[in-house]
Amino acid sequence: MQHGVESASLGRDASIPVTVVVLAAGQGQRMNSSRPKVLQPLAGRPMLAHVLDAAEALNPDALNVVHGHSGEAVRAAFADRDLAWTHQAEQLGTGHALAQALPSLEDGNRVLVLCGDMPLVSAASLERLIEQTDGRGVGLLTATVDDPSGYGRVLRDDTGSVVAVVEDADATPEELAVKEINTGVMVLPAEAARRWLDRLDRTNTQGELYLTDVIAMAVADGVPVCGVPVADAAEAIGINDRRQLALAERAIQQRYSRELLDRGVTLADPCRFDLRGRLAVGRDVFIDVGAVFSGDVTLGDRVRIGPNAVISNSRLGDDCTVHAHCVIDGVIAGSRCEIGPFSRLRPGTEFDEQVKVGNFVEVKAGRLETGVKVNHLSYVGDTRIGRDSNVGAGTVTCNYDGAGKHRTEIGERVFVGSGSMLVAPLQVGEGATIAAGSTITRDVPPGTLAVARKRQSTVKGWKRPTKRES
Ligand code: UD1
Ligand code: MG
């Protein structure tokens, strides 16, 4: 899964270069946050990352981001991408934002304007907008929604042609009743944009330079304006506040869960599923409620994930089962492993096949070979455990001496009795047995029994103290 980005066919007139300009300079006051709005996370990534993915999928000739509020933080978050940046020192409105980027654009280009706060827009809708708009005309991506409040309304004449966009704050009661909204995406010729933006003024309720005013200017100049609806109304969600962020989060998760269902995954409840990264799946995977996946996760065929599992950056082989309430991060497991319930597996952990790790077991940087069992209440850190070894309940590899970390090497077919402390650095040879309750501080040779505990003494006729009456 590609972060939910659809692939798009490039059917547009390739002779006209397309420059994408993403408006991302606003502070996002309605978020009530010290973090710039376009860096608020959606599905685990800054919302601007989703917009950039959609833009990049179009293969534009150039991709320019207008930044301003907390601009350095925004730039730094995308340092690894090939982007041109334009600074908007003062946020005077969307029209002013686009005007800052125009000097770097050549006449003859088409400008596709995107907003950094509409992360659900799909590359396919953008492609359709470009295709359906005449190269010399203006295209507006629109959506018809049940609740249009807050959005600019698209006004059409009796023939259905777009004549203007009016902002929510400036609209008359009749205009407010219009349910077709401006998504914020527009495509227009660079030279006409320059002309129109020069003529914008701030005589509106918000005192801003509205990009949307260019629609009426285009109509007045006899330039065709084409309103193109999005395929799915969720694409139009513009995020100005936390409620819209929550709405968009659910919408993107629904999109991901639909994709997974289509791939043959069974989701116990598609409404209780969260993906904050990429998830690759084999056949007949089952995912119970409340699972959270982040980073890059791969699940093999017939993997079963129990309720409330948190899994990040891991690869689980065919037929693995993760029982309820496990936290798994940075793990590679071979086929038929069984994990949990209540296991915590930390980065650097590798299981071969048929490894079993049970309740309240923590493994950090542990390599567990085929058939190893650590079934209950143990800590295994910086350790290799050989094939078919069994680690009893309550075993601890004491890998830290207060200054440095040390390794424990356990051979094949070792039996570690319950309640053992294995003080690293330590080597336990093949086939060795460690008696329950031992504190092992020296290497255990292969095939031996190590008992490292005080012998039991038994007192005959022992009288248990009794409580005194007070
Ligand atoms: C805007 C549209 C509205 C549309 C809605 C869709 C205008 C005037 N209004 O309203 O018609 O329905 O989006 O979500 O265009 N930005 C800058 N510099 C600025 C101002 C804004 O870069 O000076 C950026 C913001 O970071 C944001 C985007 O432009 O990513 C849109 O600005 P925002 O303030 O969210 O506009 P809306 O009120 O949502
Ligand atoms: Mg907005």
Specify the DSSP element, H or E, that contains 140: strand 138-144
Between CA 111 and CA 14 the distance in angstroms is 14
- The angle subtended at Cα 322 by Cα 392 and Cα 371, nearest 5°, is 45
Note the pLDDT of residue 140: 98
Q: What mean pLDDT comes out for the span 291-295?
A: 98
pLDDT digits (tens, 9 = 90+) for 33-63: 999 999 999 999 999 999 999 999 999 999 9
Q: Could you please report the per-residue DSSP string of 39-85?
A: GSEETTEEHHHHHHHHHHTT--SEEEEEEBTBHHHHHHHTTTS--EE
pLDDT digits (tens, 9 = 90+) for 324-382: 999 999 999 999 999 999 999 999 999 999 999 999 999 999 999 999 999 999 999 99
Q: Which atom of ligand 1 is nearest to the CA of 240?
A: 35
Note the pLDDT of residue 13: 72
Answer whether 165 contacts ligand 1 (Cβ < 6 A).
Answer: yes
Per-chain residues with Cβ under 5 A from ion ligand 2 = 117, 238, 240
Answer whether 240 contacts ligand 1 (Cβ < 6 A).
Answer: yes
- CATH number of the structural domain 265-450: 2.160.10.10
Å from CA of 221 to ligand 2 middle: 28
| pLDDT band, residue 10 (cuts 50/70/90) | very low
Answer whether 40 contacts ligand 1 (Cβ < 6 A).
Answer: no
Contact call for residues 356 and 338 (beta carbons, < 8 A):
yes
Parse the chain into domains and list their residue ranges: 18-236, 265-450
Answer whether 51 contacts ligand 1 (Cβ < 6 A).
Answer: no
Å from CA of 239 to ligand 1 middle: 10
Question: Is the pLDDT assigned to residue 185 strictly greater than 80?
Answer: yes
pLDDT digits (tens, 9 = 90+) for 120-130: 999 999 999 99
To test the pocket of ligand 1, the residue of 94, 170, 182 to mutate (highest count of ligand atoms within 8 Å of its CB) is 94
Q: Specify whether 376 is catalytic.
A: yes
Å from CA of 239 to ligand 2 middle: 5
Answer whether 189 contacts ligand 1 (Cβ < 6 A).
Answer: no
Answer whether 97 contacts ligand 1 (Cβ < 6 A).
Answer: yes
Helix 47-56 to helix 242-262 angle (10° resolution) is 50
Instruction: Pinpoint the alpha helices (H) of 57-153.
Output: 71-77, 94-101, 123-132
Indicate the burial class of 187 (C-beta count within 10 angstroms; 0-12, 13-18, 19 or more).
buried
What are residue 96's phi and psi, to 5 degrees? Answer: -65, -40
Q: What mean pLDDT comes out for the span 87-102?
A: 97
- Of all ligands present, the nearest one to the C-alpha of 183 is 1
Question: Is the pLDDT assigned to residue 65 strictly greater than 70?
Answer: yes
Å from CA of 11 to ligand 1 middle: 28
Question: Is the pLDDT assigned to residue 190 strictly greater than 50?
Answer: yes
pLDDT digits (tens, 9 = 90+) for 153-165: 999 999 999 999 9
Q: Which residue has the higher pLDDT, 237 or 9?
A: 237
Q: Give strand ranges (E) for 170-240.
A: 180-189, 225-229
Report percent pLDDT > 70 for the chain: 97
Contacts of 51 (CB under 8 A, 6+ apart): 22, 24, 38, 114, 115, 116, 118, 119, 121
| pLDDT band, residue 15 (cuts 50/70/90) | confident
Between CA 418 and CA 435 the distance in angstroms is 8
| Residue of 271, 260, 356, 345 whose CA lies nearest to 309 | 345
Q: What mean pLDDT comes out for the span 250-255?
A: 98
Per CATH, is 18-236 categorized as 3.40.50.720?
no
Q: Whose CA is nearest to atom 25 of ligand 1?
A: 26
Q: Which atom of ligand 1 is nearest to the CA of 37?
A: 26
Between CA 288 and CA 304 the distance in angstroms is 8
Q: What mean pLDDT comes out for the span 140-145?
A: 98
Report percent pLDDT > 90 for the chain: 94
Between CA 215 and CA 115 the distance in angstroms is 17
Between CA 59 and CA 8 the distance in angstroms is 10
Å from CA of 150 to ligand 2 middle: 9
Give the dihedral sign, CA 320/325/326/327: positive
The tokens describing 45, both together, are 């990534």
Q: What mean pLDDT comes out for the span 127-148?
A: 97
Q: Which of 3, 69, 87, 376 is catalytic?
A: 376
Q: What mean pLDDT comes out for the span 17-21?
A: 97
Between CA 304 and CA 341 the distance in angstroms is 12
Answer whether 111 contacts ligand 1 (Cβ < 6 A).
Answer: no
Written in H, E and C, the secondary structure of 404-444 is CECCEEECCCCEECCCCEEECCEEECCCCEECCCCEECCCE
- Of all ligands present, the nearest one to the C-alpha of 185 is 1
- Side chain identity, residue 305: I
If one counts every other C-beta atom within 10 angstroms of the C-beta of residue 201, the result is: 10
Instruction: Pinpoint the alpha helices (H) of 188-329.
Output: 190-198, 214-220, 242-262
Answer whether 151 contacts ligand 1 (Cβ < 6 A).
Answer: yes
Q: Which atom of ligand 1 is nearest to the CA of 209?
A: 8
Question: Is the pLDDT assigned to residue 135 strictly greater than 60?
Answer: yes
Between CA 315 and CA 300 the distance in angstroms is 8
Q: Whose CA is nearest to atom 14 of ligand 1?
A: 238
Contact call for residues 85 and 79 (beta carbons, < 8 A):
no
- Of all ligands present, the nearest one to the C-alpha of 120 is 1
| pLDDT band, residue 8 (cuts 50/70/90) | very low
Note the pLDDT of residue 349: 98
Between CA 42 and CA 119 the distance in angstroms is 8
For the chain, how big is the Rg over CA atoms in Å?
Answer: 31
Question: Is the pLDDT assigned to residue 4 strictly greater than 90?
Answer: no
Answer whether 93 contacts ligand 1 (Cβ < 6 A).
Answer: yes
Å from CA of 94 to ligand 1 middle: 6
pLDDT digits (tens, 9 = 90+) for 20-30: 999 999 989 99
Q: Is 469 left (phi over 0), alpha (psi -120 to 50) or beta?
A: beta
The tokens describing 192, both together, are 């006409």
Note the pLDDT of residue 470: 75
- Of all ligands present, the nearest one to the C-alpha of 23 is 1
Which residue carries 């991506």 as its tokens? 141
Note the pLDDT of residue 469: 85
pLDDT digits (tens, 9 = 90+) for 422-453: 999 999 999 999 999 999 999 999 999 999 99
The tokens describing 46, both together, are 């800054």
Q: Residue 180 to residues 131, 141, 343, 445: CA-CA distances in angstroms?
A: 21, 10, 50, 78
Question: Is the pLDDT assigned to residue 9 strictly greater than 70?
Answer: no
Note the pLDDT of residue 2: 52
The tokens describing 442, both together, are 């020296």
